Amino acid sequence: MKRKLRMGMVGGGKDAFIGAVHRIAAFMDGKIELVCGAFSIDPVISKESGEELFVSPDRVYATYEEMIAKEAQLPEGERMDFLTIVTPNFLHFGPAKLALENGFDVVVEKPMTVSLEEAKELQETVERTGRTLCLTHTYSGYPMIKQAKAMVKEGHFGKIRKIVVEYPQGWLSRLSEREGNAGAAWRADPKRSGKSLVMGDIGTHAAHLAEYVSGLRITEVCADLSTMVEGRLLDDDGSVLLRFEDKAKGVLMASQISAGEENAVRIRIYGEKGGLEWANEDPNNLIIKMLDQPRQLYRTGNAYAAPFTLSSFATHNTRIPAGHPEGLLESFANIYRNFALTVSAKREGKQPTPEMLDFPNVYDGVRGMAFIENVVNNNEGTEKWTKFVV
């Protein structure tokens, strides 16, 4: 493409959290510009947000329906190319479906929808329209996560036996939804959040990471969900025993009442010959632990000699030389860059490379929604283990 891709936004106004992170990530590589938005549920905040972001006032819309209808009528050289959806969970499906049906590509926050049924409908829409949908599972964009995945895939650890993934946070240790915290209020409301708070908000990140790095799919679950904070309407803590393809076993812990924790995502995977460990709070390190050998530390951005050469997926997603920290914003930007490269390649009639296509998509969104529903159903039922149904 000889120009930047033009982005529109639903949500992400002055009253929002993650929308600003999306803009930083989208702009990092100079491939994307913001041209329009319905930035808030409050039209005044939407207008003010548009002014602050230097968006032309005639392209700041009151609703996403108006935005999609009016943008679709603009000439090809002006209208937005894709829509980023950064609203509460219950407002993902509507704008995503409408955007795809009107010829726009989509970037949407996780969880992709609030039900598996909606997720499957989006999958059908993507397949029928041929458009691209990107789901922002942030942690999958890190170079050392790419390296971990590549090492598992090439058989470095032998057959995988055990996958342990954790996502503890502490920010919902109190009843913050009743104390004026808007982000907590919609997350803890079943109508706006979905069937599970903890699994929708962070458990899906952990489940995606486990399947992405291991290359194995969850086949059965045994779940225990709890509401630890009195008065809360949804769960805030969960442990899930997992069975994967190829007889691998796993444990997933997602918790928002782990008082004092920040965003302590961590994954450990063990095979017959050794294992790996990666943590979000130290993301440029990948610890490799092989049987009968000293531990090794792989670091982002190094030009190691064979047989330690970093994979093409790790280097493709690295921006600066070793020792200069890359973090969450760069990981997020990797997802946007790969999405932009894929969309541009498709528009030019070219086949995107595997590295370009390496971002979470509509199929990951369907698995995420299936994960939530399978865990909730298992927790509510009487069977110890239940099959993972999609």
Residue 109 or 358: the one with the smaller Cβ distance to ligand NAD is 109
Residue whose CB is less far from ligand NAD, 19 or 274: 19
Q: Under the criterion CB under 6 A, does residue 169 sit at the interface with ligand NAD?
A: no
Binding flag, residue 365, ligand NAD (CB under 6 A): no
Shorter beta-carbon distance to ligand NAD: residue 238 or 271:
238
43 belongs to the binding site for ligand NAD (CB under 6 A): no
Closest CB to ligand NAD among residues 288, 364: 364
* Contacts to ligand NAD from residues 120-159, by CB under 6 A: 136, 138
- CA 59 distance to own-chain centroid: 28
Residue 88 is a binding residue for ligand NAD (CB under 6 A): yes
Should residue 62 be labelled a site residue for ligand NAD when binding is judged by CB under 6 A? no
Q: In this chain, which stretch among 80-88, 164-172, 276-284, 376-384 interacts with ligand NAD, using CB under 6 A?
A: 80-88
Q: Single out the segment in contact with ligand NAD by CB under 6 A; choices: 11-19, 114-122, 206-214, 305-313.
A: 11-19
Is 41 near ligand NAD (CB under 6 A)?
yes
Question: Is residue 374 involved in binding ligand NAD (CB under 6 A)?
Answer: no
Phi, psi of 276 (to 5 degrees): -135, 160
Q: Which is nearer to ligand NAD, 112 or 152 (CB)?
A: 112
Contact pattern from residue 191 through residue 220 relative to ligand NAD, giving x for each residue in contact according to CB under 6 A and a dash for the rest: ----------x-------------------
What is the 3 state secondary structure string of the chain?
A: CCCCEEEEEEECCCCCCHHHHHHHHHHCCCCEEEEEEECCCCHHHHHHHHHHCCCCHHHECCCHHHHHHHHHHCCCCCCCCEEEEECCHHHCHHHHHHHHHCCCEEEECCCCCCCHHHHHHHHHHHHHHCCCEEECCHHHHCHHHHHHHHHHHCCCCCCEEEEEEEEECCCCCCCHHHCCCHHHHHHCCHHHHCCCHHHHHHHHHHHHHHHHHHCCCEEEEEEEEECCCCCCCCCCEEEEEEEEHHHCEEEEEEECCCCCCCCCCEEEEEECCEEEEEECCCCCEEEEEECCCCCEEEECCCCCCCCCCCCHHHHHCCCCCCCCCCCHHHHHHHHHHHHHHHHHHHHCCCCCCCCCCCCCCHHHHHHHHHHHHHHHHHHHCCCCCEECCC
**According to CB under 6 A, which one of 13, 238, 360, 365 is a site residue for ligand NAD?**
13
Tell me: does residue 361 bind ligand NAD (CB under 6 A). Answer: no
91 counts as binding ligand NAD under rule CB under 6 A: yes
* Least distance to ligand NAD, CB of residue 10, Å: 5
Binding to ligand NAD by residue 190, rule CB under 6 A? no
Does position 286 bind ligand NAD by CB under 6 A? no
Please give the residue ranges that form the binding site for ligand NAD (CB under 6 A).
10-13, 15-19, 38, 40-41, 64, 86-89, 91, 109-110, 136, 138, 182-183, 186, 201
